[in-house]
A and B are shown apart, each in its own frame.
Chain A
Amino acid sequence: MVELGIVDIREIIRLIINHYNFDFSSFSLTSFKYRLEHVIAKNNLNSAESLFRKLTDEPDFFDVFLHQLCVPSSEMFRDPSVWRWLRESYFPSLEEKHLMNFKIWLPYCVSGGELYSLAILLKEIDLLNTVKIFATSFSNNSIEDIKSGVYPFKKNEVSIENYKRFQGDSDLSNYFKREKYNVVRDTSLIKNVEFIKDDINFNNAPKNIKLILMRNVVIYFNPSHQEKVLKTMHESLSAYGTLIIGLKEQIKPNTNAQGLFEAVELNESVYKRKVV
């Protein structure tokens, strides 16, 4: 396993800014290093230099690199109680008129775990054809991967357990087909999803969003970029729109972001947009 030094990492960041105008200095250093080492191993490279060369010489590789670098959700229905909260508290609280033009945004999709979970939840409460879902990825490879619905079978067990704890309507296996080492998800679940390709600054953020699902995303960013992204989420939400972040992500006291959101359900990391 190649281990990168801090000098290698700085060099990679500089190279990517120069060649592709994508700024990884906003990433959290330890996670970025770990993921870079993962990309190097996955492509059978044997040194930092070979990654530099590949990034310099093969422009098409960069999109693959982004897909491999971003941390995918490792399971569907992670933290089942959050999904139960959405089904039992959040959606029932909405009135008919709120559901007109109802937009949901997932700002960071890599493997589609959150997206398919959301679609299944919405289907089971009969709202899948009522709401509009936007899904942002940094990489076209991620988008193609999600659209294909193909997912390694061995990772599916945890999802099945989670779905049981979520107490869904049926059995998770009703939403995929087994094919050798993979499962193929029911892609009709996401046929109305609008995919957006964007970068780490979210300049293509959709507007007037009622619900943002951004769980375990900002953990991969450094503190100043976290603040910036939370501000972008605030701008993207409609008045009193809802933001859900990861259970161990926090809108920290004494930060600018604290003025932008107020807690709705702290146990599940649910926040509401403050009107400022």
Chain B
Amino acid sequence: MNYKAVIIGGSAGSFQIVTRILNSLNPSFPLPVLLCLHRLKHVRSGFVEALSLKSNIPIYEPSDKDQLKSGCAYLAPANYHMFIELANRISLSADEPVNHSRPSIDLSFITAANAYREKLIGIILSGANRDGALGLKKVGDNGGVTIVQDPLESEVKTMPESALQHTKVDYVYSSDQIIKFLLKL
């Protein structure tokens, strides 16, 4: 299968596994990696730097209309929604928070699902609210691959459990299995 992008959503308890994923990928990874993680809105800097410490691929906090490249990760910036446009570009939005979240994981996943259809891999990780459940459903409805971190392994279960309630997902994986899956792409 010729995938176009991986999108990952998470909040509380996801930092460590995101770090591990970024550490295990290398710059020849064939897809762009979109990261939509809940974060403090008034803390502008530090997050990319913290994620970059152990990452083997470059991580960007994109500006509006930036073009996505494979082998790079894109972290949704603080206090913006990150939409994915059809032309493989980011569009940012300062629209209202959704479920108290901006960036909203649902909105990133839904726009990515519309842009890439069956060529998208969506992954929901540990997190403390229900954001992401509708987004992952959209990924599945559009024929993409849906993966949820095993709630038994997740530090905070609400987000993966809520995703599992909304969608019949393709895989429930441990962090090791998620990494193994990505490395085979």
Chain A residues near B (Cβ < 8 Å): 28-31, 34-35, 71, 73-74, 78-80, 161, 165, 216, 218-220, 223, 226, 246-250, 252
Query: Nearest Cβ in chain A — how far from B30, in angstroms?
Result: 24
Report the 9 A-B pairs with minimum CB-CB distance, sorted nearest first. Answer: A30-B83, A250-B63, A216-B94, A219-B64, A28-B91, A219-B92, A30-B111, A248-B63, A71-B95
C-alpha spacing A220/B85, complex, angstroms: 12
The answer to whether B94 and A246 touch across the interface, beta carbons within 8 angstroms, is: yes
Q: Given known contacts A218-B64, A219-B64, is B92 in contact with A248 (CB within 8 Å)?
A: yes
C-alpha spacing A223/B93, complex, angstroms: 14
Tell me which residues across on chain B come within 8 A of A223, comparing CB atoms. Answer: 65
Tell me which residues across on chain B come within 8 A of A219, comparing CB atoms. Answer: 64-65, 91-94
Tell me which residues across on chain B come within 8 A of A248, comparing CB atoms. Answer: 61-64, 77, 80, 92
Tell me which residues across on chain A come within 8 A of B42, comparing CB atoms. Answer: 80, 161, 165
The answer to whether B65 and A252 touch across the interface, beta carbons within 8 angstroms, is: yes
Contact string against A for B residues 100-130, beta-carbon threshold 8 Å, 1 for contact and 0 otherwise: 0000000100010010000000000000000
C-alpha spacing A272/B52, complex, angstroms: 32
C-alpha spacing A31/B114, complex, angstroms: 13
B97 interface residue (CB < 8 Å to A): yes
The answer to whether B64 and A249 touch across the interface, beta carbons within 8 angstroms, is: yes
The answer to whether A34 and B107 touch across the interface, beta carbons within 8 angstroms, is: yes
Query: Nearest Cβ in chain B — how far from A263, in angstroms?
Result: 13
Contact of B93 among A31, A161, A165 (CB under 8 A): A31
Q: Given known contacts A28-B85, A30-B84, is B64 in contact with A74 (CB within 8 Å)?
A: no
Q: Given known contacts A74-B97, A219-B93, A248-B80, is B86 in contact with A29 (CB within 8 Å)?
A: yes
List B residues 28-62 near A (Cβ within 8 Å).
42, 44, 61-62
Q: Given known contacts A29-B86, A30-B85, A31-B83, is B44 in contact with A247 (CB within 8 Å)?
A: yes
Query: Nearest Cβ in chain A — how far from B82, in angstroms?
Result: 9
C-alpha spacing A130/B89, complex, angstroms: 43
The answer to whether A29 and B85 touch across the interface, beta carbons within 8 angstroms, is: yes
Query: Nearest Cβ in chain B — how far from A8, in angstroms?
Result: 13
B153 interface residue (CB < 8 Å to A): no
The answer to whether B62 and A31 touch across the interface, beta carbons within 8 angstroms, is: no
Tell me which residues across on chain B come within 8 A of A73, comparing CB atoms. Answer: 94
Chain A residue with Cβ nearest B98: A34
B96 interface residue (CB < 8 Å to A): yes
Q: Counting chain A CB atoms within 10 Å of each CB, which of B61, B92, B114 scores highest? A: B92
C-alpha spacing A80/B84, complex, angstroms: 28
Chain B residue with Cβ nearest A1: B134
Chain A residue with Cβ nearest B45: A267
B154 interface residue (CB < 8 Å to A): no
C-alpha spacing A223/B85, complex, angstroms: 12
B79 interface residue (CB < 8 Å to A): yes
Q: Counting chain B CB atoms within 10 Å of each CB, which of A161, A246, A248, A249 scores highest? A: A248
Q: Given known contacts A30-B84, A165-B42, A247-B44, is B93 in contact with A220 (CB within 8 Å)?
A: yes
Query: Nearest Cβ in chain A — how far from B104, in angstroms?
Result: 11
The answer to whether B93 and A226 touch across the interface, beta carbons within 8 angstroms, is: no
Query: Nearest Cβ in chain A — how far from B130, in angstroms?
Result: 16
Chain A residue with Cβ nearest B134: A1
Tell me which residues across on chain A come within 8 A of B63, comparing CB atoms. Answer: 248-250, 252
Tell me which residues across on chain B come within 8 A of A79, comparing CB atoms. Answer: 79
